[in-house]
Amino acid sequence: MALDNTTLQKKLIETFGMSVSEFHEQHGMLSFEVATNATHDVLKFLKENAEMNFNFLTDVCGVHYADLPSEKQLAVVYHMHNWIDNVRVRFKTFLDIKNPVVESATDLFRSANWQERETYDFYGIIFKNHPQLKRILNMDEMESFPLRKEFPMEDPGRTDKDDRFFGRTVHNS
Amino acid sequence: MSDLLLPPEKRYAKLIEEKFQEDGTELQILNLGPTHPATHGIFQNIILLDGERVVEGEGTVGYIHRAFEKIAENRPFYQINVLTDRLNYCSSPINNTAWWLTVEKALGIEIPKRVQYLRVIVMELARIADHIICSSVMGVDTGALTGFLYVFQYREKIYEIFEEISGARLTTNMGRIGGFEREWSPKVFQLIEEFLKEFPAIWSEFEGLLTRNRIFMDRTIGVGGISAEDAINFGFTGPNLRAAGVDYDVRVATPYCSYEDFDFEIPVGTSGDCYDRFCVRNAEIWESLKIIRQALDKMPEGPYHADVPDYYLPPKEDVYTNMEALIYHFKIIMGEVPVPVTELYHPVEGGNGELGFYLITDGSRTPYRLHFRRPCFIIYQAYNDIVKGGMLSDAIITLSSLNIIAGELDA
């Protein structure tokens, strides 16, 4: 029987209980949240369980939710893809911005290596057990994490440009 | 602290010292890049050599990092298209279309069939242009410059088609939310017909030059191979994955833009080496030609853009004479368009594999977060594993057969 979102959700709740929550479907893709300490287990379960077969880690990236309380301001988003039944799934884990640590997926998927380095580079998220967690796109000497919302895109002291009029502010109200 | 965290020069200095103490061999460090003819772009590979054999390598990327994801968080949706141009700049129309498809999916816009077919045509033309570069440059890197110069005039013809459609050649900025900015002129269709008529003969000749060429085969067969299992684990997609024998193609797995209407095959290889990658790309060019032919023959009647006044700019003469059009024009330019709060991932088959846009909107005029899943970035991390233990000249040919595009690597 081909895997569908309902069975997937049922199986995940059966296996992980309280660690998985907030199931919802958006544009046909099942999304849910995972407790930070269960992330690696969920990845492993989705990859190795005979019914799940999520053999492909499509994407790993970070998000900074600046409006949420600080203990869940950062998120790591995983996209996985089951090529046998052609099902995609997305899950997030929220991290404390003061101590953003999550277990690395590099032992399961080698494709996670650079993607996690990129996430570290931009958001400062520490991936535990990552073999080479250093900056990848920015220079090593950099100290800030540029994709966090508080990092200004341009020199804030500039007076020759006023971007407010062209919808170019992040929080335009 | 793990040695891997050190800069490669320092790490290698240690290895060189150890090796010298062990048996007196002198290892050498070679900088392949950042500006090296074989990298075809700005990225560096610091390689440790034992004579001509690669002991180890470490990729250093980010030389043309332009912070697109940050810029995208500060720009309205229609201005992000120009950023996508510069990802895989060898096949910009695919990136453009992928971006519009993502936005249209987020906004819930229905696209007319004709627009979808037109998009399929430009995307397949772009794929051909992309594969022409890769395949012919593989010839150059093995020492056959003639084929490259010969087929490049047809890449030029594809760019002429793009120019006729959008006004630009390389970074096309093609299309709008909902369709194209203007109707395709008869000249476009004429150019495409000419291309379809002339190109197959040229491409057959190019294939005849290299595919069964003894020297080329000796240089590429069994070089830079990767098993299907490793390729999946490393996140390979596109021609590089299919060369390893896995028939995964986004156009078939999750069809977009009416790809389900067309009859085409997914060429696969067996060993995942440079030769297979070359053959898979060449076969894909023939499939793309087939798709373009079908799209032209089955081209439905209809408008060249969806009827979405909230997002699609009205004709300029209406803006000057019609109140409604003026309001829409003003609102769209200022980015004041209605955007639902949503979150989606939209993949398309780019020139090098699964190009995905992960978009989070919060109802404002800019994306809250936009992440590009760039196939080259993910594929390139396997490079050092592939070339380890091989000859330096094989490392060069492997690099060009993986078709790493610096723009997509760094975003």
Residue with tokens 């087939």: B290
CATH superfamily of B68-410: Cytochrome-c3 Hydrogenase, chain B (1.10.645.10)
What pLDDT shows up at residue B43? 87
Task: Select from A60, A18, A19 the least CA-distant residue to A36.
Answer: A19
Task: Select from B38, B212, B44, B207 the least CA-distant residue to B137.
Answer: B38
B32: closest CA of chain A, how far (Å): 17
What pLDDT shows up at residue B18? 86
A110–B364: do the CB atoms touch at under 8 Å? no
Indicate which of A53, A111, A164 best probes the interface with B, i.e. most B CBs within 10 Å of its own CB.
Answer: A111
Is residue A123 within 8 Å of residue A148, measured between CB atoms?
A: yes
| Local confidence pLDDT in tens for the 173 residues of chain A | 578 889 999 999 999 989 998 899 999 899 999 999 999 999 999 999 888 889 999 999 999 999 999 888 999 999 999 999 999 999 999 999 999 999 999 999 999 999 999 999 999 999 999 998 999 999 888 889 999 988 887 776 766 666 666 555 544 43
pLDDT > 70 fraction of chain B, expressed in percent and rounded: 100
Each domain of chain B, given as residue ranges in start order, spans: 3-60, 68-410
Nearest chain B Cα to A129, which residue? B2
Residue A167 lies in a domain: no
Question: pLDDT digit string (tens) for B133-183?
Answer: 999 999 998 888 888 998 999 999 999 999 999 999 999 999 999 999 999
Question: pLDDT digit string (tens) for B243-263?
Answer: 999 999 999 999 999 999 999
Pairs of CB atoms within 8 A across A/B: 118
Backbone angles phi, psi at B38, to 5 degrees: -80, -15
Residues of B in contact with A83 (CB under 8 A): 248, 253
B343–A31: do the CB atoms touch at under 8 Å? yes
CATH code: domain of residue A113: 3.30.460.80
pLDDT > 90 fraction of chain B, expressed in percent and rounded: 67
Indicate if the pLDDT at residue B53 is higher than 80: yes
Residue A145 lies in a domain: yes
Three-state DSSP string of B293-309: HHHHHCCCCCCCECCCC
Residues of B in contact with A92 (CB under 8 A): none
Residue A42 lies in a domain: yes
Mean pLDDT of B277-286: 94
What pLDDT shows up at residue B59? 87
Q: Residue A113: give the domain boundaries.
A: 5-152
Indicate which of B378, B385, B408, B409 best probes the interface with A, i.e. most A CBs within 10 Å of its own CB.
Answer: B378
Indicate if the pLDDT at residue B290 is higher than 90: yes
* Least-confidence region, from A141-155, B32-46, B48-62: B32-46
Residue A160 lies in a domain: no
Residue A170 lies in a domain: no
Number of domains in chain A: 1
CB-closest option in A31, A90, A153 to B71 = A153
A89: closest CA of chain B, how far (Å): 10
A169: closest CA of chain B, how far (Å): 6
CA distance B306 to B12: 58
**ipTM of the complex as predicted:** 0.91
CA distance B241 to B230: 10
> Would you say the pTM of this structure is higher than 0.90?
yes
B235–A110: do the CB atoms touch at under 8 Å? yes
Top mean-pLDDT range of B37-41, B264-268, B403-407:
B264-268
CB-closest option in B7, B74, B356 to A58 = B356
Residues of B in contact with A113 (CB under 8 A): 381
Please work out, in degrees rounded to the nearest 5, the angle formed at the alpha carbon of residue B125 by the alpha carbons of B121 and B129.
170
